[in-house]
Amino acid sequence: MRCGEWRGWLQHSPRHTPIANGKGATPAAPLIAPIPQSHWPTGAAGVKQRSVMSDPAAASPPLKPASAVPTHAELFLAFFQITLSGFGGTLPWTRRMFVEKKKWMTAQEFNDAYALCQFLPGPNIVNLTMIFGARMRGATGALACWSGFLLLPFVLMVTVGALYARYGDIAALHRILTGIIAAAAGLLIATVAKMAVPLLRKGIGRPAPFVLVATALSIGVMRWPLLSVMAALVPSSIALTWWRR
Amino acid sequence: MKADGDILITLAAQFTIMALLAFGGANAVVPEIHRQAVELRGWMTEAQFADLFAIAQVAPGPNVMLVSLVGFHVAGLWGALVATLAMCGPTAVLAALLSRTWDRFRGAPWRDIVQTALVPISVGLVAATAIVLTQVADRSWPAVAITAATAAVAYWTRWNPLWLIGIAGMAGLAGLI
């Protein structure tokens, strides 16, 4: 099976703009801009399916042995390494590892997989790890990628949580964190502005601006429960979009 | 650090539901975490929530690790484990399962409509997070100024956000905020 088929599994309509990346504020656009097809690696570098041996079309010229499919250990270590270097958001590092260093994915494939993760609920890159692992090595591969990605941050967070429980009362620490969260709020405002402008440009009569503002107000200002708001807004948004299509 | 069974079940249920509703990623559920942990259940104060969010923001790894910190604060190591698994497990399995099925419906009109309809919801959720965080963070005029300046710089320039966070942390340490 060739890279084109792999891509097909994950392909996603390109008209939906990226929503957000791992750290919420790193500019996402240059990373996930569409890559022309001519940039795809050709030949052996693009072959990377576990079914490569069983696929008669791919088997005739043995472009690459099955070793092109990363092992469980390789998958685990790749994601472990990503989290080691993941300061300032893990998305750029994940992309660098997948696309540039290991060439397990073409740029287009990465974009497609990430677009799907943005559409689905849940933490985007965590979802991406499992989609990717499942493609490479099935359920156990998914587990390898997922645990490789989460192990180190989890240990770190437990450590930091224990330190905070002990030293959280120190005034200097609290002052630093007060500054950080003020900046973090600003970064998030900028991210929201970048995402919202294209939607608001669609015009007041369209469903998108209305749904955006309704969501932000009911959760952010009214502080209504997420479950109730989603139960009302998701069907409404789908109905409005269908009606005004 | 006691791991009360009831609290663990609450953590598991709440974070699983939150994850399944988190259109727009981990940042989309910060208001709900705040509502549950601070307003509804009194697990932590507003100031503690702000501290934990700031820590999750600067620590390496994905932003979603805020749930590990919240879980640890609520019920120690087991709380962190349960919260993390609930937030990161079910949706990732769902994503892996759906990624094949979903593609089978490429070109189906309803698929396009659902995708288009969910985009403004996910942006609206992150906007709600920005609103809640700004209220949590900006308790003084210097803090408001930091937020406004950071937003402007991040919107109009390509500076690395870590620098902005570092500068703001130093300003906080110096007692300016």
Convert the pLDDT of each residue in B56-94 to its tens digit.
888 877 888 999 999 999 999 999 999 999 999 999 999
Q: Please count the residue pairs, one from chain A and one from chain B, whose beta carbons lie less than 8 angstroms apart.
A: 393
Structural domain includes residue B100: yes
Q: Is residue B163 part of a domain?
A: no
Q: Which is nearest to B31 in space by CA: B126, B122, B129, B138? A: B129
Residue from B2, B53, B99, B163 whose CB has the most chain A CBs within 10 Å, to mutate: B99
Look at residue B148 and tell me if it is in a domain: no
Which positions 60-99 of B are in contact with A (Cβ < 8 Å)?
Answer: 60-65, 68-69, 72-73, 77, 80-81, 84, 87-88, 90-96, 98-99
Give backbone dihedrals phi and psi of B63, rounded to 5 degrees, phi first: -60, -25
Domain count, chain B: 1
pLDDT bucket at B3, cuts 50 / 70 / 90? low
Domain containing residue B93: 5-107
Query: Is B21 part of a structural domain of the chain?
Result: yes
In a domain, B10, yes or no: yes
- Give the pLDDT confidence of A160-214 residue by residue, as tens digits: 999 999 998 899 999 999 999 999 999 999 989 988 888 888 776 788 899 999 9
* Mean pLDDT on A219-235: 94
Report pLDDT for A39. Answer: 36
Provide the 10 A C-beta neighbour count for residue A6.
Answer: 23
Distance CA B107, CA B125 (A): 27
pLDDT over threshold 80, residue A13:
no
